[in-house]
């Protein structure tokens, strides 16, 4: 998360900035070196130079993997603003991948859960959002697209449960997801206080706050299926947590002094600008 958060708009990560922020977060140089080595070995980044003068560059696969996260966050803010009402449609994906392609089968299962799906039974997953483009893209990359079946329904029944709200409560771990958003709120509140205070904050401090927020936001949202508000308990803590994050990013944007900044500054600032304007205006 730290390395991803420091990717600049040209796709590079400066090692000196990486080490400085990592040290501020309490990480050792050895931890950073091991992390960089692993990322390069896994093919997520290339590496040029040595030590703090080195530069990492994100590969095309890494850049592509980060893009859906922005799509999901944008969708979450649209939901929070009431601009993405549920149409009552459940989206299902079924697959029958042979044992000879076990790795692809397991990866497809993990991908469906990451995209907000929940298993109904063996090889059948359901999502409340239109996930088809993401599912098909993943299946093609895994070369199992021919084994995939996609369908939709407005009449989902599991056992004797038909009510959509009850189905959502049974299929997804909503209390656990809510707890993650409560944690995000506890992190964002003091960050907002620092960012809107009168004390000066050094660039490394601003980066550290940005990364802490991005890490906690990712921790909260990665297991979140982003169910439509119509299916969630009210009030839903995710709405409040994202509102606080939007205020933090607006404050971060106001403190920017130009220069080459990590892309996360622009990404989250762009995504949250409309939300920040809504909650502050």
Mean pLDDT by groups of 10 residues along the chain of 281 residues: 76 85 85 89 88 86 66 88 94 92 91 95 95 94 93 96 97 97 96 93 83 86 95 95 89 70 61 53 48
Q: What is the pLDDT of residue 64?
A: 66
Contact between residue 188 and residue 245 where contact means Cβ atoms under 8 Å apart: yes
CA atoms of 115 and 266, how far apart (whole Å): 24
Q: What is the reported pLDDT for 155?
A: 96
**Tell me, what's the pLDDT at 126?**
98
Alpha helices by DSSP H, listed for 93-236, are 102-114, 132-141, 164-171, 174-195, 203-221
Using the 8-state DSSP alphabet, how is residue 172 labeled? S
Q: Which of 91, 98, 97, 100 is nearest to 125 (CA)?
A: 91
Handedness of CA 84, 87, 88, 93 (dihedral sign): negative
What pLDDT sits at residue 124?
97
> Which tokens is 74 given?
């944008």
């Amino acid at each position: 998360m730290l390395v991803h958060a420091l990717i600049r708009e040209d796709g590079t990560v400066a090692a000196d900035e990486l080490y400085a922020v990592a040290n501020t977060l309490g990480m050792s140089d050895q931890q950073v070196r091991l992390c960089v080595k692993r990322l390069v070995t896994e093919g997520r980044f290339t590496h040029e130079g040595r030590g703090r003068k080195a530069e990492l560059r994100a590969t095309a696969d890494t850049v592509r993997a980060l893009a859906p996260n922005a799509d999901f966050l944008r969708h979450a803010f649209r939901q929070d603003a009431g601009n993405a009402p549920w149409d009552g449609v459940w989206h299902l994906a079924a697959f029958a991948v042979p044992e000879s392609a076990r790795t692809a089968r397991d990866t497809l299962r993990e991908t469906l859960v990451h995209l907000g799906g929940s298993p109904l039974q063996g090889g059948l997953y359901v999502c409340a959002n239109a996930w088809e483009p993401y599912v098909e893209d993943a299946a093609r990359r895994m070369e199992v697209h021919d084994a995939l079946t996609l369908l939709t329904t407005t009449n989902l029944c599991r056992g004797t449960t038909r009510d959509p709200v009850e189905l959502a409560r049974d299929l997804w771990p909503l209390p656990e997801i809510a707890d993650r958003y409560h944690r995000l709120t506890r992190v964002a509140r003091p960050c907002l206080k620092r960012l809107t205070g009168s004390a000066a904050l050094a660039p490394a401090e601003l980066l550290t706050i940005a990364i802490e927020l991005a890490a906690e936001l990712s921790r909260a949202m990665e297991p979140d299926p982003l169910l439509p508000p119509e299916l969630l308990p009210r009030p839903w803590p995710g709405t409040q947590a994202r509102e606080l994050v939007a205020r933090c990013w607006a404050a971060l944007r106001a403190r920017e002094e130009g220069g080459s900044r990590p892309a996360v500054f622009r990404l989250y600032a762009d995504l949250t600008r409309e939300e920040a304007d809504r909650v502050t205006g």
